[in-house]
Structure 1
Amino acid sequence: MTEMMPAGSFSSEQITALFIDAARLGDTEMLTRFLDAGMVVDAQDSRGYTALIVAAYNGVLPATALLLERGADPDMQDAKGATALSGVAFKGHLAVAELLISANAKLDIPSHLGRTPLMFAVMFGRQDMVRLLLSHGADPNQRDAEGLSVRDIAESHGQSHLFTSDTVIPL
């Protein structure tokens, strides 16, 4: 496709989409080429996705590592307020979560619905992720936009075994 198009004929939206697709596919060589050519590492598409958010969500550890090494902000939020760690918590990619946490990703950034990565991990039964987030200090007392606590979410999703009285049980 690029061979048939004259240089400079791609819009910035198309270039950003190609960059984000390279992250989705884990194409670290292409990501490196984009970045070396001056691509903004935190460029966002119309949904607010960044290459880091997409690489992390898809569990692509090498691309996630490269983007973080090249300065990607682990706390960027998409149009719904989700961060890379939110998507990773939802999907259960532990190694990617550990990498994001080691890059100082904030653990408790809420989405526009007030949901934190810990809430997503509980909602989708990602018990190992729950353990990991709690071990790094995620706040189990936050409430979402509906006023639901992590405990309330756990109970409504059949995960009440994560709690006894007011204490979160490390699994």
Structure 2
Amino acid sequence: MLEFVLNMFPSPGLCNVDKQNKAGYTAIMLTALAATRSDDDMATIRQLLQLGDVNAKASQAGQTALMLAVSHGRQDMVRALLAGAADVNLQDADGSTALMCACEHGHAEIARLLLATPACHVGLDGSTALSIALEAGQNDIAVMLYAHMNFAKPPSPVSDGWA
């Protein structure tokens, strides 16, 4: 599949890489689902990410390339998309973020990658990644999220004991 997607766009400027197909997906979204076989594949993917909108949303469900890569467990693509400035906090039509997708599908290592992004929010609009992890029975991810929410925050100013 990767070869098919990459061959669709042989040279910069010849095609609109942000054009959606009939299903509502762009070349970047389709690439996010593909398996890479070599460093050359990743180099081509990084080039594609620079040419298009990594934060475009699919027309039907509003998913981004990052959400698709997360949902399908494509850790290499998640890394590439994050390096290509993918927004971890965008929400799809249901209000889910990439982190929520990782929680729902049990992708702990991908959740860890997303949490390492400084801008990553654990909860948006009343639904939290923690509640999704718990509902999905992903206890290891729930523990990771709880620790992130409670222990990864900068320390509060230390009181000198004088009130």
Normalised by the size of structure 1, how large is the TM-score? 0.68
- Give the length in aligned residue pairs: 131
The 8 Å contact of residues 85 and 97 in structure 1, kept in 2 or not, is answered as: yes
Q: Per-residue deviation at 1:19?
A: 1.8
Q: Distance in 1 between matches of 2:74 and 2:28?
A: 14
Q: Distance in 2 between matches of 1:121 and 1:94?
A: 10
CA 10–86 in structure 1, closer or farther in 2 if over 3 Å, else same: closer
Query: What's the RMSD between the two structures over aligned residues?
Result: 2.4
Q: Distance in 2 between matches of 1:9 and 1:71?
A: 19
Query: What corresponds to 2:77 in structure 1?
Result: 63
* Aligned mate of 2:97, from 74, 77, 83: 83
Q: Which amino acid aligns with 1:24?
A: L
Identity of aligned residues (%): 27
Q: Which amino acid aligns with 1:19?
A: I
CA 12–96 in structure 1, closer or farther in 2 if over 3 Å, else same: same
Gaps of 5+ in 1: 139-171
The 8 Å contact of residues 85 and 117 in structure 1, kept in 2 or not, is answered as: yes
Gaps of 5+ in 2: 151-163
5 Å-filtered alignment, 1:8-19, equals: 8=15, 12-14=19-21, 16-19=25-28
5 Å-filtered alignment, 1:39-50, equals: 39-46=52-59, 47-50=61-64
| Pair 1:108-2:123 in alignment | yes
Query: What corresponds to 1:127 in structure 2?
Result: 139
| Pair 1:136-2:151 in alignment | no
Note the alpha carbon deviations across 1:112-158, whole angstroms, 9 max, x for none. Answer: xx4321111111110101100000017xxxxxxxxxxxxxxxxxxxx
CA 18–87 in structure 1, closer or farther in 2 if over 3 Å, else same: same
Normalised by the size of structure 2, how large is the TM-score? 0.71
